[in-house]
Chains A and B, each alone.
Chain A
């Protein structure tokens, strides 16, 4: 079984400042890692994912995340945030190599951008 811990339930940050949202996971098997974003009253949108290869993955809107196997972490970062980044961010894992046990999510981090 897998578990995901998002260490911060809320992260307030000023506009144009950098931000890091922390995610740690636990698993006895190899996993794929994901970050999803949820805007108010909407479903989840895939932000980025790590499957294998380069440990640094990037999204099209400036976010990046780095897989650290030794620390079992997959922290999300953005060098300069915008008001439109205000949302709930979820880290998730799934068993690699195929599986039917779905995604295991963390409890989410609410990113609050202050003008």
Chain B
């Protein structure tokens, strides 16, 4: 098992800019989801991709978008960054679309918007 890896580990951006965060899912996992974890809070579900299609979305605006590629890597894109977007962004993968398999989380990307 290769686990879930995320890059970069830390990032500083200016308000209004765009950012792309990357994730490499665990081998064989065809489901990936992204979470935002603000300081002192639990993670909040952004969206989920299954076989390269978005199949679920939390309460996040459209400026949060994503892609999943055939090699199970994925991206989270955030446009028009706001100060409140500062958070730890976590990628999680699963071997199936259904939740009972559990999710393997990466270590996250710490995004700071100034």
Interface residues of A (CB under 8 A from B): 4, 6, 32, 34, 36, 41-46, 49, 51, 90, 92, 94-108
Contact = CB atoms under 8 A, between A and B. Distances in A.
B56 A100 contact: yes
Interface stretch (B12-20, B77-85, B105-113): B105-113
9 contacts: A4-B42, A32-B99, A32-B100, A90-B43, A100-B48, A102-B47, A102-B56, A107-B41, A108-B41
A30 to B, nearest CB: 11
Contact of B44 (A51, A97, A98, A105): A105
Interface in B70-114: 90, 92, 97-100, 102-108
B42 A105 contact: yes
- Place the interface of chain B in its size category: 20 to 34
B99 A105 contact: no
B41 to A, nearest CB: 6
Given A102-B45, A103-B43, A108-B42, A46 B102 contact: yes
B24 interface: no
